[in-house]
Amino acid sequence: MNIILVSSRLAKARSITLGKPHILFFMLLLCALVLVAATALQYALVHYAPAVLGTDARALLINEQNEAGAGVAALDPDCR
């Protein structure tokens, strides 16, 4: 992939050539940034959102957690 840089300050245009390793690196970097952003959003939601939830939303989350715990207990009787 060829990228041509043109500037009014420079007399000549410059050209940059990106090969497969460069493109692969940038794709991996983009995937890592998405993963970090998703992890940060999940962390913020888990740690800060319960403080601002209304009573209806909090009751719904507690109900879902209890149902999930009951499902695990049904599969494993030794689970307490």
**pLDDT tens-digit profile of 27-43?**
999 999 999 999 999 88
pLDDT on residue 50: 67
Amino acid at site 80 = R
What is the tens place of the pLDDT at every residue in 36-63?
999 999 888 888 776 676 777 778 778 8
pLDDT > 70? residue 74: no
Residues 6+ apart with CB under 8 A from 34: none
pLDDT > 90? residue 7: no
Separation of first and last alpha carbons in the chain = 59
Confidence band for 72, pLDDT divided at 50, 70 and 90: low
Residue 51 has, within 13 A of its CA and on its CB side, a CA count of 4
